Amino acid sequence: MQSTHSYFNRFLSVFRPYSVRSSVVRGQTVAAYKAPIRDMQFILHEVMAAEKLFAQMPGTAEVSTDLMDAILESAAQIAEEVLAPINRSGDEEGCRFERGQVHTPTGFREAYKAFAQGGWIGLSGDVEHGGQGMPKMLAVLFEEMIMGANCSFALYPILSAGASLALARHASAELKQEYLPRLYSGEWSATMCLTEPHAGTDLGIIKSRAQPQADGSYLITGTKIFITGGEHDLTRNIVHLVLAKLPDAPPGPKGISLFLVPRDLPSGDGATGTRNGVSCGSIEHKMGIKASSTCVMNFDGARGYLVGEINKGLTYMFTMMNYERLSIGLQGIGLSESSYQTAVAYARERVQGRAATGVTNPAGPADPIIVHPDVRRMLLSVRADVEAGRALALYVASQLDIAHFHPDAGSRKRAASLVALLTPVAKAAFSDRGFESCVLAQQVLGGHGYVREWGLEQNVRDARIAQIYEGTNGIQALDLVGRKVVKDSDGMLDILVEEINDFLEQHSESAQLREFLAPLTAALGALTATTHWLKEAASANPDEIGAASAPYLRLVTLVLYAYMWARMARIALAALVGGVSETSFYDAKLKTGRFFIARVLPGYAALAAEIRGGSTTLMALSVDQF
């Protein structure tokens, strides 16, 4: 790990300033995106006690509070001043496809250059090959910021980071040395190529083929679709991680191998040389994320290099996919935060009607709409979800850091089990609830939310894709219920339940915290009882897994969010009792948590009842009756 001083020099660098911070539309201020640094610091330092955790692990021991805060502040600067100002213009201009080339919107190349020069692509990358070596907890907060500021842009570097992780874990030393430094620096970028026209979720039936060559390389032939960043003008080269099968590969997913296929073959000095047999056939015209190129990629005898061992490609690719799934969940949180900021600013200024309890704006013709209970319901629903989701994202990231850095094998194993359990929950929960939050924030603005000027209709469009790509949320729910709960032999859910029960027991004597602990206890009890019922029902009828999957994931989410709120409330209560100067911040945290407990968490009972409704009514209609 580099010294703390060198990190400060890296992350306190000055990015290109932009003057656009907010705008005025029809007499009202449209808030510019502002990174929620204070809340991030609260969760990072106070709730998750990152300093204490990092001190236990040699690979993170140098990551101090000052360093973490410096990184967050610099990340906020690039999100607010470089990425947010080109978000709407990027959506309106979109990507252009001309004669096989993809052109990104105006300003994206300059922004990418500033982004890469800051070292952000390699933030959590392997230090040995030029990465910054920062913990995942910091990377998660950074990714939320850039997703909230400009999620189309964010997809390009996040894919490079995920591909770099897969290469760092599974590629040969030669491939690492050749490719990782250029990916971390942003000189080159990367993609993952899985989906084919006939094969989405069922990757076992892919048709892409890899023909072995005498020199140890392979010629890759096939077509991949929906490839984010498959072609663009941001970097000198694009490196594709491609799933394909050898001629004698066994059928199904066990016959899949992973190959590194550069668009341009590197020359001996590391520069790009001749063009490989890789081409972009077209780009998709999409509902949202229009500044992110989504490509049809053709591989026509393209030279590629095996990553890891033959027929283990799907396992290797899941290293990248699981990284991306958490990142795509953060897309939901980031866009929710952005939408909340706009909706609050609008609700404070927009005047309509009078408060039910009396006039609050006697100098004006009406009161600001933030006085109305239903507007507050929408705003608080978004805020409570964003803050709980952010805390859960940090919790998952902490387990990733433990699984990677911790010196104790037992701790690493326990953390890895929690990561396996929580990854599908995080991806689906953050993106489902993120989309719902963007819609709620849009509703606060009424008709103004439906037009372009305030940006919320873009957020709604951009958020929608997160529920679909990187494994649809239905697949995430099936993964959770089928593999991680019903068919789990390692007790992954038991580890989580035990941790929550330990927290409840540890704080059982706290009278102040009881308003959070009692509802959490009830919700956790419903989850464990429902899980027991589901396992028994699924043993008799396998359809019960699919029938229960979506509501079960939502049930788990509510329990996890309640757990996060109980942990945040404990810290907030202690701060207020201790006479902290930021009284308003901690008081608002408690009030938001109370809203979640009283108005959102009770939904767990309905979800438990829905699950116990079983699969019979779902499967009753014959196919021709639909």
Active site residues: 470
Query: Cα separation of 260 and 273, whole Å?
Result: 16
Contact 262, 182 (CB under 8 A): no
Contact 121, 186 (CB under 8 A): yes
Query: Cα separation of 42 and 572, whole Å?
Result: 9
Query: Cα separation of 7 and 28, whole Å?
Result: 41
Q: How far is CA 127 from CA 58, 184, 564, in A?
A: 14, 10, 32
Q: Identify which of 438, 435, 440, 457 has the alpha carbon closest to the alpha carbon of residue 448.
A: 457
Burial of 536 (0-12, 13-18, 19+ CB in 10 A): exposed
Query: Cα separation of 79 and 589, whole Å?
Result: 25
Q: List, in order, residues 6 or more apart from 136 with CB less than 8 Å away.
A: 124, 397, 398, 400, 401, 404
Q: Identify which of 148, 135, 131, 262 has the alpha carbon closest to the alpha carbon of residue 184.
A: 131
Helix (H) / strand (E) element for 395: namely helix 373-405
E-state strands within 290-403: 294-306
- In the DSSP assignment, the letter for residue 212 is E
Q: To 10 degrees, what angle do helices 313-349 and 136-170 make?
A: 160
Query: Cα separation of 223 and 243, whole Å?
Result: 11
Pairing of strands 188-193, 237-244: parallel
